[in-house]
Amino acid sequence: MENSQTVERPSTTIPPTTTQITYSTRHPASTTQFPDHKCGTPAIQQNLAQNRIVGGVEAKPGSWPWVVSIHLDNSHICGATLIHPQWLLTAAHCFDSVRALDRLDARTGKHNRFSIDSTEQKYRFERIINHPDYNDLSSDSDIALVKLTEVVQQGDRVSFACLPETDVAAGRMCYATGMGETQGTCCIGKMKQVAVPVIDQKVCNGTDYFNGDITNSMMCAGYAQGGRDSCKGDSGGPLNCMVENRWMVQGVVSWGIGCAEKNKPGIYTNVVRYVDWIKRTIAIS
């Protein structure tokens, strides 16, 4: 792909915190049941003012309770979404350079990237399943599932996002969330949110934008003028869209050219294309 060299990849250069957090000590369990009846409804309501990750405004702690931090050797590398009591949805490219499960863990209830939160829980990885069509050069099918070794402990700051049933229309305002870079403008290391409109795929594939590089597995969201976007370190996290009063993980942060650049909106894996694969994989795994 012409701009594959600019695809954002997670950074592992942040030094680990010196404070220790232990793994959850509850007994392992397993379930294949999806929490459809209670997904996408946070106990702590968001402040949905128009804001941005690049240039950033801090999200209300716990208001995106399905956002998970993936750690490599105790440093945040990617976001993920809790979609099931034992499963996370994230980007396949998060694991391009590492597959050693004993070096990876997931943190729920997290708001501060560089310190330990009182609500934080740490979970081991049992397995990583990339989509079989994932292409690390084109970023096509950039989606993966992570099975944890046990069921997560739910609460006001830990719950599930819904899986989407349909596409959302161009112009729909959705929210990207994460603890990635803000280019030095605000709230370093805190959970942030950015309101971005979904962009029609034909527009996003135009010569002024990505010139045909956007596949049917991808979706675009952002502003032609730039200024608001997800950024490095947000990879794997959700693009949250409200549908019938519930939050859907409509997209997975995948790649981009720079952060918040003109005519270069964020590119997300279009989750609705993969719902059947997600449910089938969880059912047989």
Instruction: Tell me the pLDDT tens digit for each residue of 108-141.
Output: 999 988 878 788 999 999 999 999 999 999 999 9
Per the domain annotation, does 32 fall within a domain? no
Is residue 136 situated within a structural domain?
Answer: no
Given 76, 93, 111, 131, the catalytic residue: 93
* Number of separate domains in the chain: 1
Mean pLDDT, residues 228-234 taken together: 54
Could you tell me if residue 78 is inside a domain?
A: no
Residue 209 lies in a domain: yes
pLDDT computed for residue 11 by the predictor = 41
Q: Give the model's pLDDT for residue 256.
A: 72
Q: What pLDDT score was predicted for residue 210? A: 86
In a domain, residue 190? The reply is: yes
User: pLDDT category, 9, cuts 50, 70, 90?
Assistant: very low
The domain in which residue 245 lies consists of 173-272
Question: Is 122 inside a domain boundary?
Answer: no
Task: Report residue 262's pLDDT band, with 50, 70 and 90 as the boundaries.
Answer: low
| Selected catalytic residue, list 142, 213, 229, 234 | 142
Is 239 a member of any domain? Answer: yes
Maximum CA extent, the chain: 54
Residue 201 has pLDDT above 50, yes or no: yes
Output the CA angle 227-230-236, nearest 5 degrees: 170
Instruction: State the catalytic residue, choosing from 159, 217, 235, 254.
Output: 235
> Is pLDDT at 193 greater than 60 in this prediction?
yes
pLDDT, the chain, mean: 83
Would residue 17 count as lying in a domain?
no
Q: Is 142 a catalytic residue?
A: yes
Beta bridge partners of 249: 240
Q: Where are the beta strands (DSSP E) in the chain?
A: 67-72, 75-84, 87-90, 104-108, 121-130, 144-148, 173-178, 192-199, 218-221, 238-243, 246-255, 266-270
- 229 catalytically annotated: no
Task: Give catalytic status of residue 30 as yes or no.
Answer: no
CATH number of the domain where residue 202 is located: 2.40.10.10
Report the predicted TM-score, pTM, of the whole model to 2 decimal places.
0.84
**Least confident stretch, 6-20, 170-184, 260-274:** 6-20
